Amino acid sequence: MRTPKFARLMALALTAPALLAMTSSAAFMKLQPGSRLWVNGSSTVRSFECSATMIDAKVETSGPGTAVAVANGAKAVSAVKVAIPAAKLDCKNGTMNGHMMKALKASEAPIIAFDLAGYDLAKSAAGTAVTLKGTLSIGGQTKPVTIAALAKSEGTALRVTGTHEVRMTEFGLKPPTLMMGTMKVNELVKVSFDLQLTD
């Protein structure tokens, strides 16, 4: 006589291959050369710009044709994870780089990361407006964020651009101070991105 427990085990055994097949069918977009992420800030002396020389983006989709699907307002992207080594931010000035790494607590928290929790799409004349909701991790602290972006299809590529303001003190970070305190970096910086992805 088959027990209810035996029946449940049999059902699990029969459905497991199907579940594995669904997981393995996930597709990912690739970040293309020319993609950029940079930080603009200001100080009591001058403005500055630091660019990410390494970007790791994992964009999971429902399959080929993601660029066109998103441009048409379809939610074809299921997951997004972006990671940037703090040490790979280049401010084109060795002294500034050192102070920035200290301010970002790069030795304790070497990765700056964004994880997508959900998003909304809205068609516009300029493209598809995207509202990204997720978490941003900097300096060992993780905070919820909402980022506005614009997505366009360029052939088979998906181009996503946007700018988001970050207040360093909200992540427990102390803005850099240079030249014996005569140059103080403002706590509000702008993070901009121009990411080009293909299936």
Count CB atoms within 10 A of the CB of residue 197. Answer: 24
- Fold of the domain spanning 44-198: Lipocalin (2.40.128)
Question: Could you read off the pLDDT of 70-126 as tens digits, one per residue?
Answer: 999 999 999 999 999 999 999 999 988 998 999 999 999 999 999 999 999 999 889
State the pLDDT at residue 95.
86
